[in-house]
Every structure is written in structure tokens, then in C-alpha cells.
Amino acid sequence: MSLTLQSPPFSALSSSLQGRSRFLPGAGSTASNLVLFNNVRKSFPLIRASSSSLDTGSNTELDAVSSFSEIVPDTVIFDDFERFPPTAATVSSSLLLGICSLPDTVFRNAVEMALADSTCYGLENADLRLSCFVNKALVNVGGDLAKLVPGRVSTEVDPRLAYDTHGIIRKVHDLLKLYNEINVPPERLLFKIPSTWQGIEASRLLESEGIQTHLTFVYSFAQAAAAAQAGASVIQIFVGRLRDWARNHSGDPEIEAAISRGEDPGLALVTKAYNYIHKNGHKSKLMAAAVRNKQDLFSLLGVDYIIAPLKVLQSLKDSVTAPDEKYSFVRRLSPQSAALYNFSKEELVKWDQLSLASAMGPAAVDLLAGGLEGYVNQAKRVEELFGKIWPPPNV
């Protein structure tokens, strides 16, 4: 999605972003529940089991599965919000790039106001000025999203700080201060942090202050357990990416153990992480992302959040279940089943930097590095774009 600031430099740049006009930059939907809107003026309800989209008197599969988990649309196409109203949103560098590649969005003013901010404008250091503009743009857009969705808005923390605990904390405090200035309360916010050890430690410290964190790029049980011990509000696992890695690589003990049991490695990790969180009384909520098909979703029923692609949601919405069939959907994950799960002594350790590093297999190392690289590239592109279009008109 794109935002044209209607200045000659920006117009020239818009042509270079064509081909991405319907989708946000980047491979896949790394922002999970990222949503883009065009001329939206209303808030939306949660997707819950209620009335069917088909006038048949029967519930749909979407209604049925929504009674077990909160189903969040995974959309990067701004036209889709009417079909699947979003419950939450993520604001990120990827979103800013999207806003800057299409005309006529409700976020036009949010970015223009950021680029015209007098505090940022007065900074002589170009790098600090750009960083200020990006912070303002993220928060302005996040503030607009908070008015449009009933749930929380997750704000991406600069991925270049992934290995700097204190840098992450300073950045979150800066963003939180800006949100406070536009009257978005902390309880409506999450701060999205990569699950490096430094990111997990930052999450622990921020949560101790009452600041909600969203740890992403979790690809191993060690990361999930350490994140839960840190008290992260949301822990995000990418199911399909682990499956993709397993198809093309070998040598990861955790993945090979799952496959030897006849289990999908991504689904197995979500199940194990869920059981760990609930058996040990951690407060964290678990988010399953990169869900590729209905069977994935059915296998995860009971997990707190499922980020589902639109093709899966549409299939669920179009599939009608008779009243006696809706009870055939089985909750796979529950606190009761978690209580029966057995963990080894090695899995119940208090995780620290050394034990986490030694327990992360090649899949987690590769996927974490690849995810960070993509996020860093997007952050750099936003700064380059803002540098070219600043100052905007009337500044």
C-alpha cells in the first residue's frame, strides 16, 4: 500500500516502487497481522463464531475454529479488510514502505506530519534526523491503526538493535513517549523485538516495567522457553518457515526429532511451546504464524492466536458445517493437555545466553539471521526513501 505525498521527488520515486503497489515489500507476510486500509472510517469487531457469511442457517468452518483460537487475518493487501476485519495490526518498516508506494490512503497525513515534525526538523545530524522521522512515522501510523482495530498495535523496534539490549530498551522508551503524546495508552501497544538473547533480555526488563513485548523470529524451543521465562506478552512462531527449512536442509536435532516422531517440525514446536507456557504458569500468549493451509490451522486449535492467510480464511468461510458437525472440531492445545506433557530436565533449565546459544540448532540460527537481514534491509530502505522525499511540501 502506498502513500503519495504529492511532491515531485516523491512522485518520481513512486514509479520505482511499481510492481509492489498491491503488496508490501519483502518475502511473505513477515509482519504477520499487518493490515493496510484505504479510506477506512470505522472500527472492526473481532472475528468470532457468530453468524455465517452464507445464508444457510449453518455455521461455517471459520465460525467453528474461531471458538477455539483468535483467528487474525494475515493481509498485506489493503482491499481485503472488508472481507476479513482485522483484530490487531503491526506497524513496521514494511508498512511504511507500503504506504509510500500507493496513492490515496488514510495514512497520508501520518507520514506527512512525521516528515514535517519540528523536533526532527531541528536536528542537524542527518542520521538522527532520519531516525526521528522514522520513529514519528511509525507512531503516527500506529496511532491511526489504534483507532481502527479493537486489539493491540505492535510496533517494530529497529532490527539493527537486535543484539543491543539497552539500545532496544531506549528505542522502546522513545516510541512509548511518542505514543503517550498522541494519547495511545500503553495497554493498547506491543513492541515487536527479535528473539536474540539480547532481545529476550530486553523483553524481560521492559515487561518488568509493565511494557508489553512481542518476541518474533522464534524458531526453536530454547527461544520459546527463554521468551516465556522473560515474561514476553506474545511469542510468535513461524510454522511454515520451519517446514520449508526442513525440506531443504538437514542436521537440526530438534527438527529431525520431530520428523522421526512423524510430526511436522513447525506444528511440533508450537505444541511444545504452548505446553511449556501453560504447564509452567507463564503469562505469555502464543502466536502461530506462517500457517499455510487449513490442516495446519486445525492442528493448532487452542493456541492463543493464529495468523491465517486470506486463501485459508476464505476456504474456511466458504465451507459450511451442519450443527452436528461443528462439534467435530477438536481443541488440540489446552491447559489440561499441557499439564500432562513431560519435559526433560535439560528443557526445564533457567535459560541464559550460553545455554540458549548452544541449544539453538542450525534452523533457528539460519532463519533468525535471514529474518533479521530482511528487516534491516527494509529499515534502510525507509530511511533512504525519507531522505529523498524530505522536506515534504510546505516545510
Residues known to be catalytic? 192
Residue type, 189: L
Provide the 8-state DSSP code for 34. -
331: left (phi over 0), alpha (psi -120 to 50) or beta: beta
Euclidean distance between CA atoms 185 and 198, whole angstroms: 26
Name the residue with cell 442457517: 57
Distances in Å between the alpha carbon of 284 and those of 35, 122, 229, 343?
Answer: 23, 41, 9, 18
Rounded-to-integer distance, Cα 281 and Cα 229, Å: 10
Residue whose entry in the numeric block shows the C-alpha cell 472475528: 47
Beta pairing class for 70-74 and 213-218: unpaired
Q: Contact 98/1 with Cβ under 8 angstroms?
A: yes
Phi/psi at 210 (nearest 5 deg)? Answer: 90, 15
Q: What is the rounded radius of gyration, in angstroms, for the C-alpha atoms of the chain?
A: 21
Closest CA relative to residue 37, chosen from 95, 93, 92: 95
* Alpha-carbon gap, residue 191 to 172, rounded angstroms: 7
